[in-house]
């Protein structure tokens, strides 16, 4: 079968063997697979800097159809079932995993999700643990795939930040730094929660996009940003800052604009660092490093999407166009999420 593979010589389209399901697995015929900035981060590493073996089929955002069941698979995943993948991998037995929070599994040990250590979704077929798939009959595959990471990560970060502040959302100001695949979903979810939203990006087209999605204010990224946010909020600052960039500049601006008792949520995988300590941040400020999301959150998000309350802006591409898609993603030219359609 054809797949998009990262190996010691780089990445590209390759011919690889068809997968066979192990015990507890099913084979999914991939319908849609999302392209993520995390893949660019992987590709930038030296071949010896990965915690997993190469070559690796990439793609950790999956939607598809069950076409084969391995030994021991029971339940709702009959052949032909449309599914969406739940990415995080935990032990399945600890207190966190028992609540569906495999993203915060308490049992040590490497467990690799598809595309991030295990063979991924940018292939015609992929073998996946059955317990990490959710039936998704009411969604377009490209929506389901993008929601499984871009949407879920945005929802999880926002949920945690709003809960930490502990005030009614309508009394807060949420700043979203970076209106990309995650950021444009975060804008929608914050508005859905009832919070006023300030969207920030360096690209004018993405600010226009955020305004169309319901952002109350849009501001260009730059050194003047913290002052502009404080002016918008009567001097108070942002109660929640969702930093989807994670660079030194974005984190410095997040720290300079956050309000007393606010939250800085660091989601972006940039190499920046935020200074934390007395007099470094306003009193009561909490920092958060959310990772992906929980299974119950993904269930809720898929229901919101099926009801038309949240939607990923999707740029659909063919498998042959994945290399160019990653180039455009790296250049900041993708509005929303690029999703490869393998079996449309």
**How does pLDDT run across 48-65, given as a tens digit for each residue?**
888 899 999 999 999 999
Total tally of structural domains belonging to the chain: 2
Give the whole-angstrom CA distance, residue 122 versus residue 247: 28
H/E segment holding residue 137: none
Looking at the structure, do residues 245 and 283 belong to the same domain, yes or no? yes
Check which CATH number belongs to the domain holding 180 and give it.
3.40.50.720
Q: Report yes or no: 207 and 230 within 8 Å, Cβ to Cβ.
A: no
- Taking CA atoms, 220 is separated from 32, 217, 247, 287, in Å, by 33, 10, 16, 23
Looking at the structure, do residues 183 and 277 belong to the same domain, yes or no? yes
| pTM of full prediction above 0.85 | yes
Looking at the structure, do residues 11 and 112 belong to the same domain, yes or no? yes
Answer whether residue 344 shows pLDDT above 80.
no
Which of 251, 260, 231, 230 minimizes the C-alpha distance to 167? 260
DSSP annotation of 223:
T
Looking at the structure, do residues 243 and 125 belong to the same domain, yes or no? no
**How does pLDDT run across 80-138, given as a tens digit for each residue?**
999 999 999 999 999 999 999 999 999 998 999 999 999 999 999 999 999 999 999 88
**Neighbour tally for 324: CB within 10 Å:** 11
Answer whether residue 334 shows pLDDT above 90.
yes
Looking at the structure, do residues 184 and 254 belong to the same domain, yes or no? yes
Looking at the structure, do residues 162 and 102 belong to the same domain, yes or no? no
Looking at the structure, do residues 12 and 120 belong to the same domain, yes or no? yes
Quote the domain boundaries for residue 190.
150-288
Looking at the structure, do residues 216 and 157 belong to the same domain, yes or no? yes
Looking at the structure, do residues 154 and 188 belong to the same domain, yes or no? yes
Give the whole-angstrom CA distance, residue 315 versus residue 15: 25
Strand pairing class (217-220; 197-201): parallel
Residue 37 domain-assigned (yes or no): yes
**At 1, is the pLDDT very low, low, confident or very high (cuts 50, 70, 90)?**
very high
Helix axes 295-306, 152-165, angle to 10 degrees: 110
Q: Report yes or no: 245 and 270 within 8 Å, Cβ to Cβ.
A: yes
**How does pLDDT run across 246-258, given as a tens digit for each residue?**
999 999 999 999 9
**At 231, is the pLDDT very low, low, confident or very high (cuts 50, 70, 90)?**
very high
pLDDT for 137 equals: 85
**How does pLDDT run across 285-305, given as a tens digit for each residue?**
999 999 999 999 999 999 999
**How does pLDDT run across 211-230, given as a tens digit for each residue?**
999 999 999 999 999 999 99
Mean pLDDT, residues 175-183: 97
Check which CATH number belongs to the domain holding 74 and give it.
3.90.180.10
Three-class secondary structure of residue 2 per DSSP: strand
């Amino acid at each position: 079968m054809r797949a998009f593979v990262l190996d010691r010589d780089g990445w590209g389209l390759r011919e690889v063997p068809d997968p066979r399901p192990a015990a507890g697995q099913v084979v999914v015929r991939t319908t849609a697979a999302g392209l993520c900035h995390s893949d660019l981060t992987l590709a930038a590493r030296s071949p010896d800097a990965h915690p997993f073996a190469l070559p690796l089929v990439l793609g950790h955002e999956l939607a598809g159809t069950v076409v084969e069941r391995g030994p021991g698979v029971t339940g709702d995943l009959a052949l032909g079932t449309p599914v969406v993948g739940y990415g995080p991998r935990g032990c399945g037995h600890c207190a966190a995993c028992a609540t569906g929070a495999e993203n915060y599994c308490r049992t040590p040990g490497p467990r690799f999700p598809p595309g991030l250590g295990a063979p991924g979704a940018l292939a015609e077929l992929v073998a996946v643990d059955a317990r990490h798939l959710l039936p998704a009959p009411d969604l377009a595959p490209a929506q389901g795939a993008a929601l499984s990471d871009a949407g879920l990560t945005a929802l999880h970060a926002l949920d945690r930040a709003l809960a930490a502040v502990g005030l009614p959302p309508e009394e807060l100001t949420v700043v979203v730094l970076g209106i990309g695949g995650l950021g444009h979903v975060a804008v929608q979810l914050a508005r859905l929660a009832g919070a006023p939203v300030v969207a920030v990006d360096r690209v004018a087209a993405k600010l226009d996009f955020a305004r169309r999605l319901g952002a109350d204010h849009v501001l260009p990224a730059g050194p003047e940003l913290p002052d502009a946010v404080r002016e918008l909020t009567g001097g108070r600052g942002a109660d929640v800052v969702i930093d989807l960039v994670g660079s030194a500049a974005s984190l410095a601006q997040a720290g300079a604009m956050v309000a007393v008792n606010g939250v800085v949520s660091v989601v972006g995988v940039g190499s920046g660092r935020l200074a934390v300590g007395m007099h470094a941040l306003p009193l009561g400020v909490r920092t958060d490093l959310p990772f992906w999301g929980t299974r119950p959150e993904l269930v809720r998000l898929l229901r919101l999407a099926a009801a038309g309350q949240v939607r990923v802006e999707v740029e659909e591409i063919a498998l042959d166009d994945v290399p160019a898609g990653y180039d455009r993603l790296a250049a900041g030219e993708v509005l929303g999420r690029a999703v490869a359609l393998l079996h449309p």
